Amino acid sequence: MIYPKYPDTFWSFRHVLKFISKKATFPPLGLLTVASMLPKEWNKKLVDLNVRSLEDKEILWADFVFISAMIIQEESAKEVINRCKSFNKKIVVGGPAFTTGFERFKDVDYFVLNEAEITLPLFLKDLQKGKLKKIYFSTKRPDITKTPIPSWNLINFKDYATMPIQYSRGCPYNCEFCDIIIMNGRIPRVKNEEQMLNEFQILYDLGWRDSVFIVDDNFIGNKEGVKRLLPHIIKWQKEHKYPFKLFTEASVNLADDEELMGLMSLANFDKVFLGIESPDVDSLKECNKILNVNTNLGEAVRKIQRKGMQVMGGFIVGFDNDNEKIFDSQIKFIQKVGIVTAMVGLLVALPQTRLWNRLRKEKRLVKISSGENTDGTLNFIPKMDKEKLIGGYKKIIGTIYHPKNYYKRIEVFTKNYKQTAKGKIKFENLISFLKSVWFIGILSKARLFYWKLLIRTGITKPSAFPTVIEMAVEGAHYEKVSKRILSSN
């Protein structure tokens, strides 16, 4: 089982890893779960190319090579496929890159597409009969209460910064640019409370004592289910002395539900990613982000921050309704609200989305998406002049990730932020802090802002000190990635 390499992006957090002595941010949850669906008598190995290289002897050892990938991993996946085919190995693939674009992978033997709980048993049944087909697909949505525990024994926990767990699949909303409903549908399916506590307990029993990412498309897509689950997590966390800090993805209507925010805070959530997209109402209407249209986005972010959760925001420029004022509007909003981690990208037309189909009808599609919306490239013809759009995008990145503005956002954030998450300060945290003193406080051009932030936080809000250190470390990563984007053609 091989997990292809991620390129250096905002989400890779590659430049943070040296501060925390880790090799990768997350292990491949999909492959680890698939491993548990395979016959128990099979011998299994997993190679995560984000952690280490793949050796020829490992390819020679295998009867089958299983690969799962996101679109952004396509280049690495093709390299792996070519290398394994040179050894005449049978290759089985699945995951988002293949489900929406299997025709781009010519040398794959078997495609097991859509959700593996449905299609993998079909593949295994035909394998037993000796009558395998090229492609296995299904529009059925599995009951994920029957999804097995991932095969954590295939990885070394010490290699990773965060462990992923899935609670639900699917999102009730229908944003034009999003491929979630293609992959997982619009009706969120959830695991039961006992199942989730079992997954928490297994990670705990295996020795994990760090952050856990609940990787749902929209954690609060099924609010009733979440509200049933959270009291159980709160009780479990309290009984185990809060071993996990949790973070997830959600929609902005989280801010409308005081009870839900309170429960998440008590369950030890300290971060949440929101798809804010744009401060421009016409652009939100264009992409069908209706939930955001009637929301005071700035106040929504502040409400969540006051509940002890850092808001990580996703933003997009390049909508048909965007004009040249959008770049300054995005900068102003991000800075004013204090969204420290602001993932701003160019609009991307992902395969099979409503946006993809619309642009294809309008003959505006240019090429397949790289799966990365922060590399400064477009895969469609925009309404705005292309050079102005890319130039404006680079202006946003160059502005918000300049150390002066980045540290200003941390200052705005800490004024509004109320620390609620619990957790012990570990030896690794001290090492990370000392590394930040050396790499940022002494060697970096951001050192003046770094020391001002630390002194100000120590005096005015010492409880937020670990959080701002983490943000300073992440800032070093964002600065490097933004420099790459600004230098791209």
346 shares its domain with 275? yes
Whole-angstrom CA distances from 249 to 113, 206, 410 are: 24, 25, 21
Alpha-carbon distance of 63 to 122, in angstroms, equals: 19
Q: Residues 6 or more apart from 455 whose CB is under 8 A from it?
A: none
Whole-angstrom CA distances from 480 to 15, 74, 76, 431 are: 8, 23, 22, 22
465 shares its domain with 399? no
Structure-token pair, residue 294 = 């009637």
- The SS3 of residue 123 is helix
84 shares its domain with 207? no
CATH classification at residue 215: 3.20.20.70
In a domain, 148, yes or no: no
In a domain, 189, yes or no: yes
Q: Residues 6 or more apart from 42 whose CB is under 8 A from it?
A: none
In a domain, 194, yes or no: yes
Most distant pair of Cα atoms in the chain: their distance: 70
Residue with tokens 């089985």: 92
In a domain, 180, yes or no: yes
Sign of CA dihedral 385, 386, 387, 392: positive
357 shares its domain with 479? no
179 shares its domain with 127? no
Q: What is the pTM of this model?
A: 0.95
Residue closest to 467 by CA, chosen among 311, 359, 333:
311
297 shares its domain with 179? yes
CA-CA-CA-CA dihedral for 14, 20, 22, 25, to nearest 10:
-50
DSSP 308: T
Contact 322, 346 (CB under 8 A): no
Strand partners of residue 92: 66, 110
405 shares its domain with 445? no
249 shares its domain with 388? yes
436 shares its domain with 338? no
| DSSP secondary structure letters along 240-289 | TT----EEEEE-GGGGG-HHHHHHHHHTTEEEEEEEEE-S-HHHHHHTT-
Domain limits for position 201: 161-416
In a domain, 370, yes or no: yes
In a domain, 39, yes or no: yes
Contact 315, 278 (CB under 8 A): yes
27 shares its domain with 101? yes
271 shares its domain with 183? yes
C-alpha 156, offset from chain centre? 21
| Other residues' Cβ atoms within 10 Å of the Cβ of residue 366 | 13
pLDDT digits (tens, 9 = 90+) for 185-211: 999 999 999 999 999 999 999 999 999
115 shares its domain with 185? no
The one-letter amino acid at 91: I
In a domain, 475, yes or no: yes
Contact 19, 44 (CB under 8 A): no
Count of domains in the chain? 3
pLDDT tens, position by position, for the chain (489 residues)? 999 999 988 878 889 999 999 999 999 999 999 999 999 999 999 999 999 999 999 999 999 999 999 999 999 999 999 999 999 999 999 999 999 999 999 999 999 999 999 999 999 999 999 999 999 999 999 999 999 999 999 999 999 999 999 999 999 999 999 999 999 999 999 999 999 999 999 999 999 999 999 999 999 999 999 999 999 999 999 999 999 999 999 999 999 999 999 999 999 999 999 999 999 999 999 999 999 999 999 999 999 999 999 999 999 999 999 999 999 999 999 999 999 999 999 999 999 999 999 999 999 999 988 888 877 789 999 999 999 999 999 999 999 999 999 999 999 999 999 989 998 888 889 999 999 999 999 999 999 999 999 999 999 999 999 999 999 999 999 999 999 899 887
Pick the last residue of a domain from 136, 169, 199.
136
Residue with tokens 């070394």: 156
Strand order in the sheet with 162-165: 162-165, 211-214, 246-250, 269-277, 310-317, 342-346
Alpha-carbon distance of 346 to 372, in angstroms, equals: 9
- The tally of CA atoms less than 13 A away on the side-chain side of residue 478 is 23
In a domain, 248, yes or no: yes
- The SS3 of residue 212 is strand
CATH classification at residue 119: 3.40.50.280
